[in-house]
Amino acid sequence: MPTDANPPAANSQTLGLGLAGACIAVSAWGSTGVIVKALDLDPVAISFYRFTVYSLAILIVLRIRGNTPSLSVLKHSAAGGISLGIDVVLFFTAVKTTTVVNATTIGALQPVIVISIAARFFNERIRAREVFAAVAAIAGVVVVVTQSSGSPEWNGAGDLAAVGALFAWTGYIVMSKRSAGVLTSTEYTLGTGFWTALVALPLGFAAGQDMSLPNLDQWFVLIFLVIVGGVFGHSLMNWSLTRIPLWLGSTLTLLIPIVSSLTAWAALDEALTGVQIGAMGFVVAALSVIVTSQRNPTPAPPPTAPLTSVVTDSPSGESDSTTPPSS
C-alpha cells in the first residue's frame, strides 16, 4: 500500500512553493515577447546569444557552489535541450513575424497535449472539474487568438512557426519532468541551455541570418532577456516541476497570453478588443479554479521509475534527496 514519505504539511508547503514558482515563471515568459520585439537582431541570433550567456552564467554559479558538472549532464539533457532549441528558434521567428499575442497564445495550447501525456505516462490523476476548467481556459485562449488574427501585424507563416514551437515546447517540458530523477533542476537547466545554443548556431548560418556579435545596446537587452526569460522563466519552472504535477505546470502556461497581451498593449500599442479582454478574464477565472483546488490535491499513485524524483534542488540552491513513495 503506498505510503507518504513526507508529512501532509510538508507536501502542502512544497506544492505551494511549486505553484508560486510556476506562476512567476509563466509571467516572466509572457513578457519576453515584448523584449524580443525590442531587439534589433535576427531571431536565431537572439536564441544563440541568449542561451550561450544563460548556460555560462549557470555554469559559473555551479562552480561557485563547488559543483563541477560531468558529461552526463549533457547526455541526460540532450532530448529536452534540442526540443527547447527548436522551440525558441520557431517562437522567436513567430514573434518577429506575427503578433506577440498570437505567438504566445498558440504556444499556450500545450495543455491539450500534456494532460493526456501526464495521465498516460506519469500516472497523474486529474479531477473532472480540473479538466473542465483547463478546457474552459483553453477555449478562452482560442478566443484571444481568433480575435487578434485580423490585426495589421498578423502573419500566417508566423502562426505556423508558433504551431511548430508548440510541439517542440511540449517535448521540452515533458523531458523536464522526466529528468527529475537523474539531474537537479539547475543541472538540467545548464544542459538544456547548452543544447539550445548548439542547435541555434548552425540553424542561424543555414538560414542566412546575421549571427555577428551584438553591439553594446543589444547586449543590455539580451542580458535583460536572460534574467527575465531564463532565471525567472526556465530556471524557476524547472525547479517548480519537481514539486508540482506535470499537467498543472503545463496548464499554468495559459497565463502567458494574458501577460503577453497586457505587456504588448502597454509597450507596443497592440490593440485589444473588448472580447479579448473578456476572454482573458475568463482564462484567469478558470485557472483560479484549478489553483485553488490544489489546496487538497488528489493523492497520486507512485510514479513509474525512472520518472520518480530522487534528486532535486532545495530553495537555497543545494541538492537534496527525496525518497519516493514505496509500496
- Amino acid in position 247: W
Residue 241 phi/psi, 5-degree rounding, is -65, -15
Distance of alpha carbon 169 from alpha carbon 152, whole angstroms: 27
Q: Which of 73-77, 84-88, 117-121, 144-148 has the highest mean pLDDT?
A: 73-77
User: What's the pLDDT score for residue 318?
Assistant: 46
Question: For residues 179 and 220, which has the higher predicted lDDT (pLDDT)?
Answer: 220
Confidence of residue 79 (pLDDT cuts 50, 70, 90): very high
Cell of 293: 483546488
CA angle 235, 222, 65 (to 5 degrees): 40
Nearest to 55 by CA among 162, 204, 209, 195: 195
| Mean pLDDT across 246-257 | 88
Confidence of residue 83 (pLDDT cuts 50, 70, 90): very high
Confidence of residue 77 (pLDDT cuts 50, 70, 90): very high
Res 320 pLDDT > 50: no
Distance of alpha carbon 185 from alpha carbon 237, whole angstroms: 9
CB environment 263-279: b (16+ within 10 A), e (fewer): bbbeeeebebeeebeeb
Question: Helix count (H) and strand count (E) of the chain?
Answer: 13, 2
Beta strands 319-321 and 311-313: pairing type?
A: antiparallel
Check: pTM over 0.75? Answer yes or no.
Answer: yes
pLDDT in tens, 108-131: 778 888 888 888 888 888 888 888
| 244: three-class secondary structure by DSSP | coil
Nearest to 89 by CA among 204, 2, 238: 204
Question: For residues 170 and 149, which has the higher predicted lDDT (pLDDT)?
Answer: 170
Question: For residues 5 and 214, which has the higher predicted lDDT (pLDDT)?
Answer: 214
Res 324 pLDDT > 60: no
Distance of alpha carbon 204 from alpha carbon 106, whole angstroms: 23
